Amino acid sequence: MKKTAVVTGGAGFLGSHLCDKLINEGMRIFCIDNLLTGSIQNISHLFGEKDFTFYKYDVTNYIHIPGNVDYILHFASPASPADYMHYPIQTLKVGSLGTHKALGLAKEKKAVFLLASTSEIYGDPIIHPQPETYWGNVNPTGPRGVYDEAKRFAEALVMAYHRSHGINTKIARIFNTYGTRMRLDDGRALPTFIAQALRNDDVTVYGDGSQTRSFCYVDDMIDGIYRLLLSDENEPINFGNPEELTIKQLAEKIVAFTNSKSKIIFKELPVDDPKIRQPDIKKASKKLNWFPYVALDLGLEKTIGYFQKITDSI
């Protein structure tokens, strides 16, 4: 019999790519999304698949899925600072109540449960790069705390269900990821820079641009998540590309790639914005034989091409 997977947040950027992967691996998919930040366009190509079912639903409520369920992948949550600061209460609810309801379904169905966690649980780190053993440096009452603490609580709840109920749980700590199906108005640096450069607008860099990030292409990220899903690992695992660059370097690269006339301007750094961000992926490499392969230049070429088509159609 075909394996059945439930993907919450399945119409989002990562969730939709995950649905593609699981369909291609021969699974039956139940995709759940309330479309707060997700988009039907991300999954419309799957509506003709007999093994794909979409429910528009808020997973902070009780979740019922008929029949057997083998895997539950909890990806429901606003993920960009612009989104979770605009929807702070919804972000906290989906990280707490939504995770609780999804774990309840996993308990009922005796299913494997995978949580999409985040590098944001490390906050503004004082250890570099960040290994899974680092507990983080998070401001719980700052504007970013709604997302950081929602994910930290979700991780604690997942491990409690693992220890108390014996559920086979997984925690993927996802570092900055980019690629097709990101929104132009996502609010994160990379899509914002691309959108501004394509319009020849000023490219806005916050702070002096010296803060660093490490960007992983979506295909590599989905491969890592799938490997984790099928593994025996229950402790958190980092996924990201360790290739680090400054935000200013990223802006300059995007302006060059798009042949833009944009100028780079600088604005005040937001509160609690992390100064450094780089994943330590030794654990993923050793336990899952996972490595990111898509170089930033190639990934940017694909992503810029995707955004170019979107802007041309507007």
For the record, the structure tokens of 200 come out as 């020849």
Bridge partners, 177 (sequence order): 216
Nearest to 15 by CA among 169, 165, 179, 210: 179
The span from the CA of 265 to the CA of 12, in Å, is 30
Instruction: Mention every residue, 6+ apart, whose C-beta is less than 8 A from residue 53.
Output: 29, 30, 31
Q: Check if the beta carbon of residue 14 is closer than 8 Å to that of residue 81.
A: no
- Cis, peptide link before residue 66, omega less than 30° from 0: no
The span from the CA of 166 to the CA of 163, in Å, is 6
Q: Check if the beta carbon of residue 244 is closer than 8 Å to that of residue 212.
A: yes
Instruction: Mention every residue, 6+ apart, whose C-beta is less than 8 A from residue 123.
Output: 136, 137, 138, 139, 144, 148, 272, 274
List 84, 147, 217, 226, catalytic entry = 147
Nearest to 129 by CA among 14, 242, 2: 242
At position 76, the amino acid (one-letter code) is A
Residue 87 annotated among the catalytic residues of the structure: no
Residues annotated catalytic, as ranges: 147
